Chains A and B, each alone.
Chain A
Amino acid sequence: MLSMTLQLTISKTRKRLFRDDWSMPTIFLGLIILFTISIFALRAASLGWNFGLVSAKIPQLVSEDRYEEPASLQVAAHALAQKSENVLGDGTITVVLGNDALFFGPIEAFSTKLGNVRNKFKVPHVNGSPQVGQMLSDLKKWSLLNRENLPKVAILVPFPGAPMPIVIEVIDRLKSAGGFSDVVLGSGLQ
């Protein structure tokens, strides 16, 4: 025979357990979590592509004012400039992506010695497609003949109407097959 107090407690517990006050908030919270996961899943599914990058470089200029800095920095900056293989100079290879051909040569061939026809080389496009492989092959032969090591940085000057996919492909080939660690893009070609 259960006491009245115990029966009352059991009755209260039954009533409490039968109450479904929390059922709706629980369902709502569960759905929010489900939708949140769905949002990320849908984004992941809709993006779909892996994105890559073909990088280029903007050269940094070291001005003469740097030498007014404290001696330790002077030494450090000068040593860095001397040791770096990525310094632009007269021998830096310049590749001009023309409308109908690729041209390559040292930077002086396109600046101070522009009139000299023997210091730059032409690789015509085939059906409008730049022959970067052929140009790199010629470039290596030229560097062997001149007994010069190819620098690690190249300058690419596309003609203004060059489609960006072609420019990107040429940068990619210069870096992957040409062995250049940095490619500097130039403009101003008329």
Chain B
Amino acid sequence: MRTSLASKRLSEMNTRLKQTTFWFPAPAFISIGLAMILTGQIIIHLNPRLGSLAELHEGFGNEELEGAILIMVSVLGEDVVVTTPEARVYRWSAEDPESGDFKDFKAYLQTRSKELLTEFSVERRATPTRTSIVVSADRRSTWYHIHPLISAFAESGFDSYGFETKILKDHSL
């Protein structure tokens, strides 16, 4: 009796395993899908504001600088933290910018400036907006934190910059 029941179960399992099943790879798809969505959130080109702690001022800015260099500035304690779209982070003391990564930040701007010149010469076309800088400044920052950046822009040959704001959708508010 036990033998016949066991052979029946074995036969059933044999039949089941021979059938095509679609549920088996589903967990793999779920994990792959979640990984892809997570990747989408952290891919730099999809999310240029990655890693920035800056909370923007809500205003009515209406100009757009397509292709401009985005520089995100936030304040952590006494330090100024700058994040670039390439996810590079520069940090220096607000009291003494030269003591931290400020020199590296200036070197980064000069490198970007040279890269732009090379791109323009290769493309044989210059786009003014691409030589502009968009400063995404944290609402807690003050002019004391920001003005060294403007000097760095000027030293690197950039003459146009702007401050990014969140546009309020309802202007009557």
State the A residues within 8 Å of B (CB): 20, 24, 27-28, 31-32, 35-36, 38-40, 42-43, 46, 49-60, 158-165, 167-169, 171-172, 185, 187
Contacts and interface: CB of A to CB of B under 8 A. Distances in A.
B59 interface: yes
A128 B20 CA distance: 74
B85 interface: no
Given A52-B60, A160-B143, A168 B165 contact: yes
Interface stretch (B101-109, B113-121, B154-162): B154-162
Contacts of A38: 33, 36-37, 40
A189 B63 CA distance: 29
Contacts of B145: 164
B66 to A, nearest CB: 10
Interface string B151-173: 00110001111111111010000
Given A39-B36, A58-B158, A164-B139, A52 B147 contact: no
A160 B64 CA distance: 27
A52 B142 contact: no
A134 B132 CA distance: 32
A42 B164 contact: no
Interface residues of B, number: 49
Contacts, number: 142
Query: Chain B: interface secondary structure?
Result: mixed
A97 B165 CA distance: 20
A52 B57 contact: no
Contacts of B163: 53-56, 164, 167-168, 171
Contacts of B46: 39-40, 43
B166 A40 contact: no
A98 to B, nearest CB: 12
B144 interface: yes
B160 A58 contact: yes
A36 B33 CA distance: 9
A172 B143 contact: no
Contacts of A46: 41
Contacts of B165: 51-54, 168
Contacts of A27: 22
Given A20-B20, A51-B167, A53-B65, A161 B59 contact: no
Nearest to B30: A31
Nearest to A188: B147
B64 A35 contact: no
A58 B143 contact: no
Given A46-B41, A163-B142, A187-B143, A55 B160 contact: yes
- Chain A CB count within 10 A is highest, among B61, B154, B158, B162, for B61
B62 interface: yes
Nearest to A159: B143
Contact of A58 (B33, B144, B161): B161
B40 A52 contact: no
